[in-house]
Structure 1
Amino acid sequence: MSQNSEKSSKFCLRIRLPKSFGRLSSFLPKLKSSSSQSPKLPSSSIRIDTASTPRCITTFPARVHRDELWISKGAIIARKKFENLLPNPDYRSHSMGPYGNFFSFCWPEGKKERVRLGTEIIETLWLYDDVIEDLPYTGAMETHASVRDTLAGNSSKASRKIQVAVLFKDFGQRLAQLDEEGAPRVIDALKSYISTYDSNETPFATIEEFIEFRIFNVGFGIMESFMQWSLGLYLDEHEQEMSREYYLSSGRVMGMTNDLYSWNVERTEKSDRNWNAVPIIMRQHDFSELKATIYLRGLIVYHEQETRRLGQELLEKSRNSPKMQIYVYIMGLMLGGNSFWSSTCPRYNPELEL
């Protein structure tokens, strides 16, 4: 795959939205248009005031797509299809949030049709992840293989016993219809993620080695490939090699950020495949849970700074090429959007009701 509590109060904050979770600009006063524009890229987004949410620690900017309400329907479609096929599982809240859909934060400058399809595809993948976590390891690997065959267009090889694979069968065709040139890279990233998601049964000994695994296990390769695809921006082989360290550093930020906020719910879940940095830090350094989360916050801030430094180096090496300016800009938005959404979403913060 190419460049992949303490309870101290007696009340809880409850944020409620109308059932159609959208119409953000009229509902939330913190959202406001920004006068600054991306480098040679007409803005299709609204700036977010990340300081309005104390839990959010990102140093990157965050924006939300102006067509968030329409884009979020892709997630609703995916959820309905999944529930029609597998109606019994108790699904977690997924890409919706009080300030908008996750993918509208991660790809706020993308073409809306592409962002909506990406939303539908990865929402399906998130639902799939929740179901697969309840299967034993060998069963999960068989299911992954069937889904990969379906994504590759080899439906004849897909196991007929594994019904969930049918949910992925037309995604490749739909991606190609919107952009035939960029579709193969996105499909390869999806297949690679499914191959590596459950590839390690043994817990990692150190946070350093876990972070490198987490870059790919968290799905960063998928997110980055859709980030490029949503804009029709493709780095050639030379540009990919030039930006490799920036890509990896960005992946570390996304993986650790996900672990920090998702630990709030994962800490009580029972699974033989719980990928999170917090328990690894606890074991490695003999830290309490609180100290481990504080340590993880520090790692995130450090790696965000390192990512920004590498972004500046990349711009210098590329002599400020327009393509690289856009790439660095939208990567920062994806990292900032991921952090802001994660700090406010009901998926990781069940006490916040929509």
Structure 2
Amino acid sequence: MAPFPSHPVDTEHILSFFSSFPVRSCEPNALPNIQQALNDTIYNCTTPASRERKKAEYRHTNPAGNLFGLSLAMSEVDRLAYVVKFIEFLCIVDDVMEDLPFREACTEHAILRQALYECYDNDHHGGRAVDPMKSFLRELRIELAGLDDPNTPLLLRTLDNSLRLRDSDDTEFKTLAEYIPYRKINFDYDFVCQLLRWGMKIPPAVQEDPLVRTYEHIIGVIVGLTNDFFSWEMERQQATDRIRNAIPVLMKEHSVSELRAKLMLKEVIIEEERKAKELKDRIMSQPEGREQLKRYVTGMEFFASGYSFWCATCPRYHRPQSEERFVKHNNRL
């Protein structure tokens, strides 16, 4: 199959959007598939009226564009819904785990990982918080087995490793260089890359190319730090025993104000984008016969640009204090 038709997005009028990457969206063609996948995930992984459900529903109220329509413009039609389910699932996991004390979050992650193994299918212990998510992930694993795709087992092993590593370090980072590897882990970035390749049906050999590895790393830095840049106003108000964001790291590392640290972070992201564009030009100049590599790199760029555009426009990051009022309004409809 092929991806849904996509179109360029006009970003000129969005003052908060500073990425130099082009943005494309596969809305409206893909929206029914995306919405069905979101409904399946949100309503099976959260309970009615719960904080997690309210946050998930609010996450997808962006009038500027759907998160997945913007970031998954090159996923194959028959894979898009699965990609949406996995990413939304991880977003919900993140919303749940960030409210738990560090040690308890580690335990809950371990319980959740059991859903990826058939030998635990009769173990219905759902821990304190992950029971619905564990059931959802188990059913998703069983459904994917029916696709008979030889690359699916690698996808699930990568997810298992990501759940094992995410939020597994309570270190207070002193420098941005120390923080970036953790940020990529906590973003589930290795799994996201594997998922994007799986969703685009990119041959596994592509990921072994050194240029691809380098490009993936740069894109990982961009998306992780872009999330930090736009989510800081929301995160700084959260009651948690660990704040994971590059802005307080830069404040500590350079002894600067919050405003200066945010400007520094923006400069870092812009410089990483410059590196990505330079490397992409090198990849695109490769001889014929490397079309899959070039297609994947293009898909990664659209993933980063779409995600950046969504972060720059979504109510979740720009009107966090209005969230409860929005939910109450929705409940009255």
State whether TM-score is above 0.5. yes
Task: Indicate the residue corresponding to 1:283 in structure 2.
Answer: 252
| AA at the equivalent of 1:134 | D
In structure 2, the CA distance between the partners of 1:188 and 1:161, relative to structure 1 (3 Å rule), is closer
Q: Indicate yes or no: 2:227 matched with 1:258.
A: yes
Q: Indicate yes or no: 2:75 matched with 1:106.
A: no
| AA at the equivalent of 1:98 | P
Of residues 204, 208, 211 in structure 1, which corresponds to 2:173? 204
Task: Indicate the residue corresponding to 2:44 in structure 1.
Answer: 81
Q: CA deviation at 1:272?
A: 1.7
Q: Indicate yes or no: 2:93 matched with 1:128.
A: yes
Of residues 223, 232, 236 in structure 1, which corresponds to 2:201? 232
Task: Indicate the residue corresponding to 1:245 in structure 2.
Answer: 214
Q: CA deviation at 1:154?
A: 3.5
In structure 2, the CA distance between the partners of 1:68 and 1:348, relative to structure 1 (3 Å rule), is farther
Take 1:305 and 1:157, find their aligned partners in 2: how far apart are those partners?
50
**1:151/1:168 contact within 8 Å kept:** yes
Larger relative helix fraction: 2
Q: Indicate yes or no: 2:250 matched with 1:274.
A: no
**2:71/2:304 contact within 8 Å kept:** yes
Kindly tell me the number of residue pairs found equivalent between the two proteins.
313
Q: Helix, strand or coil: the match of 2:146?
A: helix
**1:182/1:232 contact within 8 Å kept:** no
Cα-to-partner distance string for 1:208-257 (whole Å, 9 max, x where unaligned): 12112212221222322222112211231774444211111111111111
Task: Indicate the residue corresponding to 2:114 in structure 1.
Answer: 149
**1:246/1:314 contact within 8 Å kept:** no
- Residue pairs, 1:60-99, within 5 angstroms: 60-66=21-27, 67-70=29-32, 71-84=34-47, 87-89=49-51, 91-92=54-55, 93-99=58-64
Take 2:293 and 2:143, find their aligned partners in 1: how far apart are those partners?
28
**1:72/1:119 contact within 8 Å kept:** no
Q: Indicate yes or no: 2:80 matched with 1:118.
A: no
| AA at the equivalent of 1:160 | H
Q: Indicate yes or no: 2:274 matched with 1:305.
A: yes
Cα-to-partner distance string for 1:250-287 (whole Å, 9 max, x where unaligned): 11111111111111200111212321100000111111
**1:152/1:187 contact within 8 Å kept:** no
In structure 2, the CA distance between the partners of 1:99 and 1:319, relative to structure 1 (3 Å rule), is same
Query: TM-score when scaled to structure 2?
Result: 0.86
In structure 2, the CA distance between the partners of 1:53 and 1:238, relative to structure 1 (3 Å rule), is closer
Take 2:158 and 2:60, find their aligned partners in 1: how far apart are those partners?
20
Take 1:121 and 1:59, find their aligned partners in 2: how far apart are those partners?
28
* Percent identity of paired positions between Structure 1 and Structure 2: 27
Q: Helix, strand or coil: the match of 2:271?
A: helix
Q: Name the stretch that deviates more: 145-154 or 242-251.
A: 145-154
Q: CA deviation at 1:350?
A: 2.0
**1:147/1:158 contact within 8 Å kept:** no
Q: Helix, strand or coil: the match of 1:243?
A: helix
| AA at the equivalent of 1:80 | Y
Q: Helix, strand or coil: the match of 1:57?
A: coil
Q: CA deviation at 1:191?
A: 1.5
**Stretches (4+) displaced over 4 A:** 156-159, 316-320, 351-354
**1:150/1:166 contact within 8 Å kept:** yes
Task: Indicate the residue corresponding to 2:293 in structure 1.
Answer: 324
**2:111/2:126 contact within 8 Å kept:** no
In structure 2, the CA distance between the partners of 1:317 and 1:174, relative to structure 1 (3 Å rule), is same
Q: Which runs of 5+ in 2 are unaligned?
A: 327-333
Take 1:143 and 1:263, find their aligned partners in 2: how far apart are those partners?
25
Query: TM-score when scaled to structure 1?
Result: 0.81
| AA at the equivalent of 2:16 | R
Q: CA deviation at 1:113?
A: 3.3
| AA at the equivalent of 1:220 | Y
Q: CA deviation at 1:157?
A: 7.9
Take 2:35 and 2:195, find their aligned partners in 1: how far apart are those partners?
16
| AA at the equivalent of 2:235 | E
